[in-house]
Amino acid sequence: MIRAIRGAITVKHNKSEAILIATEHLVNEIVNENEVCPTDIVSVLISTTVDLNACFPAAALRRLEGFTYVPVMCVKEIEVSNALQKCIRVMITVMTKKLQHEVKHVYLEKATILRPDLVK
């Protein structure tokens, strides 16, 4: 069965290494929480708010073991007044036997305000 797993994290500064570290951390948390291995991943979509442009966050996945052949794409979030700033959002599409309610979405740092109903 194919499922999508969502997550988000914020960074303090628009710096390449901060973006890469945060993206790596978020993806690792999603993969670990959902017991996913890279070969189960169909694709990864990463979006950033317009204030994050120091690097492509997809580059962070190339630093993770097993992600060489995982298709990854980066896009910009639409600008919405008073929206959370410096935010990286991820949607990972995976092959899994988990039911929809068993999927664990991961929201970290200030991004916990996006889905307080899903935060542990």
- The residues assigned a catalytic role are 6, 62, 74, 77, 89, 107, 115
Beta-carbon-side half-sphere exposure of residue 12 (alpha carbons within 13 Å): 0
Residues 6+ apart with CB under 8 A from 61: 23, 24, 27, 44, 67, 70, 72
Report the alpha-carbon distance of residue 86 to residue 116 in Å, rounded. 18
User: Chain-centre distance of CA 105, in angstroms?
Assistant: 10
